[in-house]
Amino acid sequence: MKYEGMIYRPPSEANSLILQVAVGCSYNGCTFCHSFQGKTFRIKSFEEIKEDIDEAAHYGPIPRVFLADGDALIIPQKDLVRILGYLKQKMRGLERVGIYANAVDVLKKTADELKELKELRLGIIYLGLESGNREVLKRIRKNATVEQMIRAAKRVKEAGILLSVTVLLGIGGTELSHEHAEDTGKVLSEMDPEYVGALSLMIVPGTPIERDLASGKLVLPTPFELIRELGTMIANCRFTDCFSASNHASNYLPLRVRMPAEKEKALELIRKVLERRDPELLRPEYMRAL
Ligand code: SF4
């Protein structure tokens, strides 16, 4: 398999074959994101991708494949259909293909086009909301509005594809901490995804957000303030059926909550942690990672 640069995938795709169909992120402008810095975006040729698929086809049955890099759903429909069609034909036991997308990529596809991809085993789309607060989205230069995020989520669900949404605790700084958490819970409810992953902001050297921190434009919430954000967000979430996790290594309090069934239990636990304010209850700083 030929990989260019560092490869990122969602934690839930740890056992998937990673097939790099594009290099980098076509937008690459979010202030906090370091993932694809230094990579010039390009879509790989079908010949390059075919070579990797042919090689992987010898490994044995591969039930899950993840298409990298950052927003591979931007690949034009006819090319994506060709890639997925070839994957389906060659990979024994293929059950599900996953992909990163941003809301604008999703909205460039019609519901019928998404359904066509679903027929070819595209089973899950990972989308970064980061925040449901308009001002925060503007500050972090996310390339989609709240309305676009919600419309994109509805289109994915209409096509019968699973939706996993990522949010970022702390991204509003102390100034917008409460608004960020409350609005994120409300927007997530409208998106009503099957999965939500909460990460905590970690500042990576060289990113624009590092300059905001250095200039004092952004002040990071404390660990307990981040946990308060998590509680506010969960309290504002009204889901049909969603598995929500904050067990990513960046978080201070790892939780796995099936909502709505376990919502009150999670809120009670967060209340207790905030009451006790015991640092022993948190993941130690040295164990946090992106
Ligand atoms: S859209 Fe995603 S991958 Fe691209 S810069 Fe923003 S956070 Fe990073």
For 188-217, the pLDDT digits (tens) are 999 999 999 999 999 999 999 999 999 999
Residue 250 alpha carbon to ligand 1 centre in Å: 17
Q: Supply the pLDDT for residue 52.
A: 98
Q: Per-residue pLDDT for 287 more than 90?
A: no
Q: Per-residue pLDDT for 101 more than 80?
A: yes
Which atom of ligand 1 has the smallest separation from the CA of 26? 4
Instruction: Give yes or no for residue 77 CB within 6 A of ligand 1.
Output: no
Q: Model confidence over 137-154: pLDDT tens digits?
A: 999 999 999 999 999 999
Q: Which amino acid residue places its CA nearest to atom 6 of ligand 1? A: 30
Q: Supply the pLDDT for residue 131.
A: 98
> Is 197 buried (19+), middle (13-18) or exposed (0-12) by CB count in 10 A?
buried
Q: pTM of the full predicted structure?
A: 0.95
Average pLDDT along the chain: 95
Three-state secondary structure string covering 37-53? CCCCCEECCHHHHHHHH
% of the chain exceeding 70 in pLDDT? 100
On whether the CB atoms of residues 185 and 232 are closer than 8 A, the answer is yes
On whether the CB atoms of residues 148 and 107 are closer than 8 A, the answer is yes
Q: Model confidence over 215-269: pLDDT tens digits?
A: 999 999 999 999 999 999 999 999 999 999 987 778 888 899 999 999 999 999 9
Q: Which amino acid residue places its CA nearest to atom 4 of ligand 1? A: 28
For a mutational test of ligand 1's pocket, the pick from 8, 35, 167, i.e. the residue with the most ligand atoms closer than 8 A to its C-beta, is: 35
Place of tokens 């060289």: 206
Of residues 94 and 287, more confidently modeled: 94
Q: Per-residue pLDDT for 123 more than 80?
A: yes
Q: Which amino acid residue places its CA nearest to atom 5 of ligand 1? A: 28
Residue 28 alpha carbon to ligand 1 centre in Å: 5
Region 83-95 average pLDDT: 96
Region 179-190 average pLDDT: 98
Residue 254's CB is within 10 A of a number of other CB atoms, namely 12
Measured between alpha carbons, how far is 18 from 1 in angstroms, rounded to an integer? Answer: 9
